[in-house]
Amino acid sequence: MKAAVFGIPDFLFGKKALSDERLDKLKELYRSVKVTPVQVEFTTEKDLKVADAVVCLDEKKLDLLILDMEVVESKLERSETEDEKKLLKRCQEYLEKEVSLCEGDFSDEEKKWLANNNFVSVKPVVFITKNEMEQFPALVKKVYKEAGRISFLTGGVKESRGWEIRKGATAVDAAHAIHSDIARGFIRAEVMSYDDLIKVGNVNQAKNEGHLRQEGKEYIVKDGDVMEFKFSV
């Protein structure tokens, strides 16, 4: 995922690994050659409109909301439909109360419209303190979680790896995160809870004890699910 950083010019930009101790445990169980964690990319504010989330200093909140206030005012001048005007007025009310649009009460359709019309704070906005900037591993986790992301895990001899998906994603969404061919030819997902696997302490034994489940396309993935996909192309 990509997080645009607003109002912090001295931020440590670039890709940062999401610390996940579960991968070290999987490496032991699967005797993996390497571990590959999820990466969170922190970019400058030039990417505000295309990023998945925004990171902003608490003290810069009003500066961020002003960007959306300007969009509201511009669109109200050109708005042609009553529904659009009502939506823009609601946005204006939130912003004047210094409430970011991601905290507002909007339908999924309204959020999509706002996101497609240059509103920045409708994305997940993570407000941080200067102190939090100095605790980078914790900050990466906070941004990842507050942006609505979870991780599913895969294990094998070559690699144990974390994969980024949105909270609420289905098994076929998870398959797509690995490769579009896997999603297109999806047959089923074989799923084990990370906690169950660690409790047993052996992959084959966990399977023999019935901890391996067969799930279909619509299964809602849980954070920490250890998954393997069966597919045909």
Residues 79 and 7 grouped into a single domain: yes
DSSP code for 82: H
Overall domain count for the chain? 2
Q: In sequence order, which ranges of the chain are alpha helices (DSSP H)? A: 21-30, 61-78, 82-96, 108-115, 130-133, 136-146, 171-178, 180-184, 194-200, 203-208
Q: Which has more pLDDT, 78 or 196?
A: 196
**Is residue 176 a contact partner of residue 191, using CB atoms and an 8 Å limit?**
no
Task: Using pLDDT thresholds of 50, 70 and 90, give the confidence band for residue 79.
Answer: confident
Residues 207 and 107 grouped into a single domain: no
Q: Which of 102, 128, 154 is the last residue of a domain?
A: 128
Q: Quote the pLDDT of residue 115.
A: 92
pLDDT digits (tens, 9 = 90+) for 1-41: 999 999 999 899 999 999 999 999 999 999 999 999 999 99
Q: Quick check: is 104 in a domain? A: yes
Q: In which domain, by residue range, is 197 found?
A: 168-231
Q: Quick check: is 86 in a domain? A: yes
Q: Quick check: is 209 in a domain? A: yes
Residue 233 predicted with pLDDT over 90: no
Residue type, 70: E
pTM (2 decimals)?
Answer: 0.90
Residues 81 and 177 grouped into a single domain: no
Residues 89 and 15 grouped into a single domain: yes
DSSP class per residue in 25-72: HHHHHHT-SEEE--EEEEE-GGGTTT-SEEEEEGGGHHHHHHHHHHHH
Contacts with 154 (C-beta within 8 Å, 6 or more apart), sequence order: 160, 161, 163, 178, 226, 227, 228
- Report d(CA 157, CA 31) in Å as an integer: 6
